[in-house]
């Protein structure tokens, strides 16, 4: 069998693919987190809970209404995004004049409520979500076997990340968003309805988390706590990348997933902590993060 | 000698606490409450008096619980030394994490402490001495200095109460000391404290280590009281609970953390039997309400109503 540094090649490649899959979830989640933080100055602790809700909505759409995966991919982010809009209008809105720490605390409380509620309704064991028929099976690449669904997750997440990046950096809407992030009151003075923009931004960021949840459902199973520790990892990713940078959060998300996959091969015991160790090192060398400015 | 209103409240509470074992209240419950009170008071030293929100305080509480439990079970080290070992480990963890976390401010500080505490959680999950999912069970309480046995709940209760009162008094002492005044100055306006020539980072790290050590003391005592140390002690939900206790009781007040701990522990004990998983929803909702409408907390609101200086420290 072909080996690489003494490890069987298919094992290494398999873990790296899995690493990329996780990395693309990190990228989607930290992207949403960064967009929300940019405009609202809220670190959205409920991001993991919204990711979980995305998975659950997909599952419930399937068993209650028979909506398939492709429908869920569109509908679940819309539904969860609408919930996010409600949260922003009803709750977060009241905190903008206060210390940003209160936003973190409020969304932490919200995460507890969502997770507790789902656990009460559906129990804490994982629910299997079927891989859609079109994406079952494997690509035989000669040196390894690649599950089609995993390849799809990577391609789909990266495409979405790329589109969001284009939207923010290259379109008029994105320019307005960046202007509001830079100076909200001045942007408002130019006749832009900033409060509506803030609401929609939160909704969109949350919808991205829900999309990641739907993409993850066939891989990780749907459970009330699927986002609980993920959100902490994504926080670390954001600290490493630097919260100010959209591009930085995408790249560092992917990169860290890759490193995590590599660690699973070389030293599995450390795979859960490697991202936090990298975070500590980055803080020592470059406290503002790899792509951060402030 | 004229007693200030806050001193009267303190004395009344102390008198009540001394009567607890004779009032038919279950001492273990009150001991658990006191341990979490110590934990929350330690957390409040950071958030309330230095303006630093640590989102990972369960790391220090939990690791001390594990270390104390391990020494009691595996080596039969005496109770006070086992507690000391736990506290020393938390102090060290606080030093390492604090030194890293103070490199960023505000919201980043919170995220970094959370991430590093998660690191501690995974360490406890993987390490063999912690007993994995089972934790360390059947921790013997032992005795104080080999003289007074702690097996009886009543003796243990008075021991825990003594420690809690000592922690309360020393936090008051710390806050009112010149060191504490500098901490508050940093919390209120860091750039100004720097421009006055204070080496702000050294103060912050010291405050962090103090807070981590006291949190560890709470954890060590909890391990002895309940005879067990588990993964939930180091879990992020415990870090969240201690924030809630402090916020609910009153951030930056001396009695607040104990009041908040009392309410949260009582809620958990009574609700978890009756409503199951709803308890998480209720605690989350209390959190949301606190942040939206009740940011001064119970003791903070009372102090506001009856004039400053009552329970809040004099500005």
With respect to residue B140, please indicate whether it lies within any of the assigned structural domains: yes
| Range A175-180 average pLDDT | 87
Residue B105 contacts A, CB cutoff 8 Å: no
With respect to residue B207, please indicate whether it lies within any of the assigned structural domains: yes
Please state the domain count of chain B: 1
pTM of the entire predicted model: 0.89
| Residue B98 exposure: Cα atoms within 13 Å on the Cβ side | 24
**Taking CB atoms and an 8 Å cutoff, what residues of chain A touch B243?**
105, 108
Does the structure show a pLDDT above 50 at B310? Answer: no
Q: What confidence category does residue A1 fall into, taking pLDDT thresholds of 50, 70 and 90?
A: low
Does the structure show a pLDDT above 50 at A195? Answer: yes
Residue B8 contacts A, CB cutoff 8 Å: no
Closest Cβ–Cβ partner in B53, B276, B290 for A120: B276
A120–B286 CB contact, under 8 Å: no
**Burial annotation A12-32 (CB, 10 A radius, 16+ → b, else e):** bbbbbbbbbbbbbbbbbbbbb
With respect to residue B14, please indicate whether it lies within any of the assigned structural domains: no
Owner of token pair 């980072």? B201
Q: For residue range A131-176, what is the model confidence (pLDDT) as tens digits?
A: 888 888 888 777 777 888 999 999 999 999 999 999 988 888 888 8
Residue A232 contacts B, CB cutoff 8 Å: yes
Report which of A201, A202, A199, A216 is spatially closest to residue A72, judged by C-alpha positions. A216
Does the structure show a pLDDT above 80 at A129? Answer: yes
With respect to residue B121, please indicate whether it lies within any of the assigned structural domains: yes
Report which of B299, B298, B294, B295 is spatially closest to residue B313, judged by C-alpha positions. B299
Nearest CA in chain B to A41: B107
Q: For residue range A35-81, what is the model confidence (pLDDT) as tens digits?
A: 898 888 888 999 999 999 999 999 999 999 988 999 999 999 999 99
Residue A236 contacts B, CB cutoff 8 Å: yes
**Burial annotation A103-122 (CB, 10 A radius, 16+ → b, else e):** bbbbbbbbbbbbbbbbbbeb
Q: What is the largest CA-CA distance in chain A?
A: 67
By DSSP bridging, strand A145-147 and strand B143-144 are: unpaired
| Residue B180 exposure: Cα atoms within 13 Å on the Cβ side | 19
Q: What confidence category does residue A293 fall into, taking pLDDT thresholds of 50, 70 and 90?
A: low
With respect to residue B247, please indicate whether it lies within any of the assigned structural domains: no
Backbone dihedral angles phi then psi of residue A147, each to the nearest 5 degrees:
-60, 130
By DSSP bridging, strand B148-149 and strand B136-137 are: unpaired
Rg value, chain B, Cα: 19
Closest Cβ–Cβ partner in B111, B114, B277 for A120: B277
A287–B103 CB contact, under 8 Å: yes
Query: From CA A93, how far away is CA A40, in angstroms rounded?
Result: 9
User: Which numeric CATH code is attached to A12-285?
Assistant: 1.10.3470
**Taking CB atoms and an 8 Å cutoff, what residues of chain A touch B122?**
272-273, 276
Cα torsion through B115, A202, A103, B302, rounded to 10 = -150
| Range B210-231 average pLDDT | 94
Residue that wins the pLDDT comparison between B105 and A104: A104
With respect to residue B272, please indicate whether it lies within any of the assigned structural domains: no
How near does any CA of chain B get to the CA of A119, in Å? 7
B288–A91 CB contact, under 8 Å: yes
Q: Which of A186-200, A216-230, B57-71, B188-202 has the highest mean pLDDT?
A: B57-71
B280–A113 CB contact, under 8 Å: yes
A232–B276 CB contact, under 8 Å: no
Report which of A45, A264, A193, A22 is spatially closest to residue B55, judged by C-alpha positions. A45
Q: Where are the alpha helices (DSSP H) in A41-97?
A: 47-65, 69-90
Residue A86 contacts B, CB cutoff 8 Å: no
Assign B170 to helix, strand or coil: helix
Q: For residue range A198-233, what is the model confidence (pLDDT) as tens digits?
A: 999 999 999 999 999 999 999 988 999 999 889 989
B288–A43 CB contact, under 8 Å: no
With respect to residue B303, please indicate whether it lies within any of the assigned structural domains: no
Does the structure show a pLDDT above 70 at B98? Answer: yes
Domain range enclosing B60: 26-235
User: What ipTM was predicted for this assembly?
Assistant: 0.86
Q: For residue range A100-127, what is the model confidence (pLDDT) as tens digits?
A: 889 999 999 999 999 999 998 888 888 8
């Amino acid at each position: 069998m072909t080996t690489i540094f003494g490890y069987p090649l298919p094992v290494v490649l398999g873990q790296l693919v899995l690493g990329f899959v996780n990395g693309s979830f990190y990228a989607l989640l930290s992207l949403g987190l960064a967009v929300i933080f940019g405009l609202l100055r809220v670190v959205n602790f409920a991001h993991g809970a919204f990711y979980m809700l995305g998975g659950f909505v997909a599952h419930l759409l399937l068993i209650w209404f028979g909506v398939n995966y492709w429908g869920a991919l569109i509908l679940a982010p819309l539904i969860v995004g609408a919930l996010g809009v409600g949260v922003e209008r009803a709750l977060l809105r009241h905190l903008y004049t206060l210390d940003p720490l209160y936003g973190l605390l409020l969304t932490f409380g919200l995460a507890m409520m969502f997770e507790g509620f789902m656990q009460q309704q559906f129990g804490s064991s994982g629910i299997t979500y079927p891989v859609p028929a079109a994406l079952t099976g494997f690509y035989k690449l000669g040196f390894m076997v690649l599950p089609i669904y995993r390849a799809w997750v990577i391609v789909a997440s990266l495409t979405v990340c790329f589109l969001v990046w284009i939207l923010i950096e290259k379109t008029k809407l994105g320019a307005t968003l960046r202007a509001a992030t830079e100076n909200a009151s001045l942007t408002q003075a130019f006749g832009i309805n900033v409060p509506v923009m803030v609401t929609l931004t939160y909704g969109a960021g949350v919808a991205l988390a829900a999309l990641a949840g739907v993409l993850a459902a066939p891989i990780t199973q749907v459970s009330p706590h699927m986002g609980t520790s993920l959100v902490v990892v994504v926080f670390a990713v954001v600290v490493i990348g630097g919260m100010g940078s959209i591009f930085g959060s995408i790249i560092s998300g992917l990169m860290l997933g890759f490193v995590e996959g590599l660690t699973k091969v070389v030293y599995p015991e450390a795979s859960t902590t490697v991202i936090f160790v990298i975070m500590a090192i980055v803080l020592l060398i470059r406290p503002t993060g790899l792509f951060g400015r402030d | 000698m004229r007693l200030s209103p806050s001193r009267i409240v303190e004395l009344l509470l102390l008198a009540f606490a001394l009567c607890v074992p004779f009032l038919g209240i279950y001492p273990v419950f009150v001991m658990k409450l006191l341990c979490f009170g110590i934990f929350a008071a330690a957390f409040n030293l950071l958030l309330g008096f230095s303006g630093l929100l640590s989102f990972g305080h369960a790391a220090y509480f939990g690791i001390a619980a594990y270390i104390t439990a391990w020494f009691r079970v595996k080596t039969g080290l005496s109770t006070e030394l086992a507690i000391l070992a736990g506290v020393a480990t938390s102090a060290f963890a606080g030093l390492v994490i604090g030194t890293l976390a103070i490199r960023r401010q505000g919201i980043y500080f919170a995220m970094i402490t959370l991430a590093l505490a998660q690191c501690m959680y995974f360490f406890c999950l993987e390490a063999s001495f912690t007993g994995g999912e089972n934790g360390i069970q059947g921790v013997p309480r032992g005795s104080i200095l080999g003289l007074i046995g702690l097996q009886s709940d009543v003796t243990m209760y008075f021991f825990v109460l003594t420690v809690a009162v000592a922690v309360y008094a020393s936090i008051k002492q710390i806050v009112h000391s010149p060191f504490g005044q500098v901490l508050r100055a940093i919390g209120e306006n860091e750039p100004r404290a720097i421009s006055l020539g204070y080496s702000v980072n050294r103060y912050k790290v010291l405050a962090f280590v103090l807070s981590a050590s006291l949190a560890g003391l709470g954890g060590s005592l909890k391990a002895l009281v309940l005879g067990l140390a588990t993964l939930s002690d180091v879990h992020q939900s415990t870090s969240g609970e201690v924030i809630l206790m402090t916020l609910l009781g009153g951030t930056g007040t001396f009695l607040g953390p104990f009041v908040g701990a009392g309410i949260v522990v009582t809620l958990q004990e009574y609700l978890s039997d009756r409503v199951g998983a709803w308890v998480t929803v209720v605690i989350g909702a209390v959190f949301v309400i606190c942040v939206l409408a009740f940011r001064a907390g119970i003791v903070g609101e009372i102090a506001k109503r009856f004039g400053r200086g009552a329970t809040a420290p004099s500005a």
